[in-house]
A = this chain, B = another copy of it.
Amino acid sequence: MRDRQTERREATRLEILDAAWALARENGLSQITLRDVANQVGMRAPSLYSHFGSKNAIYDAMFAQAWSEAALEMRDVARRLPSSPRTALKKLARTFFDFEVSDLARHQLMNQRTIPGFEPSPAAYAPAVQVLDDLHEVMAGLGVRDAADIDLYTAIVSGLIDAQQANDPGGDRWSRLLDRAIDMFADNVGIPESVGRKT
């Protein structure tokens, strides 16, 4: 039987998180204050402590949300990858790249330590590990099995993401280099070319 009490509580939690996301996108991730969040959901600041143990606990839940979203999106793409390994590598990279670049606040929370005292809890970190585990599995299917190769792949992709966000937000100066970078990587690990010749 449904537990209306629990449902209501969960709804309030989500309402608080939505308010926090909205404020993060508007004023910056670290500029969120408990008073602002509470005000946005019609509460006083101390009332938030009935739902989250601390401000960092709110960041923690947001962190888990963000990586869970990413896990869903990456799995969805992984299920319908193009047959060419090289094109598949590009599709994977492009999906993650666009996901990260489309939300600056979310990207900062997921990948940078921009909040002074915040360290994600093991529970919140789990979906991030999930994304990486999935990547290893998919990459193995594409012929990339060495862990060092995947370390290189992730460093390249996130290097381009960080450069794009930091130096040309809203533009495409590094976004344009992504396919070329993946070709470069594919050449290095010996993945055969898909169709035609590389430039």
Report A's interface with B, CB cutoff 8 A. 28, 30-31, 108, 111-114, 116, 148, 151-152, 154-160, 162-163, 166, 173-174, 176-177, 180-181, 183-185, 187-188
Contact = CB atoms under 8 A, between A and B. Distances in A.
4 closest A-B pairs by beta carbon, nearest first, are A159-B159, A30-B116, A184-B188, A155-B159
Contact of A156 (B113, B159, B187): B159
Nearest to A176: B148
A43 to B, nearest CB: 24
A162 B31 CA distance: 24
A109 to B, nearest CB: 13
B163 A155 contact: yes
Nearest to A163: B155
Of A108, A162, A185, most B-chain CB atoms within 10 Å: A162
What is the oligomeric copy number? Answer: 2
Contacts of A176: 148
Contacts of A113: 108, 112, 114, 166
Contacts of A181: 152, 155-156
Contacts of A173: 151
21 contacts: A28-B116, A31-B116, A112-B112, A112-B113, A113-B114, A113-B166, A114-B114, A116-B116, A148-B176, A148-B177, A155-B160, A155-B163, A155-B181, A156-B156, A156-B159, A157-B159, A159-B162, A183-B188, A184-B184, A184-B185, A184-B188
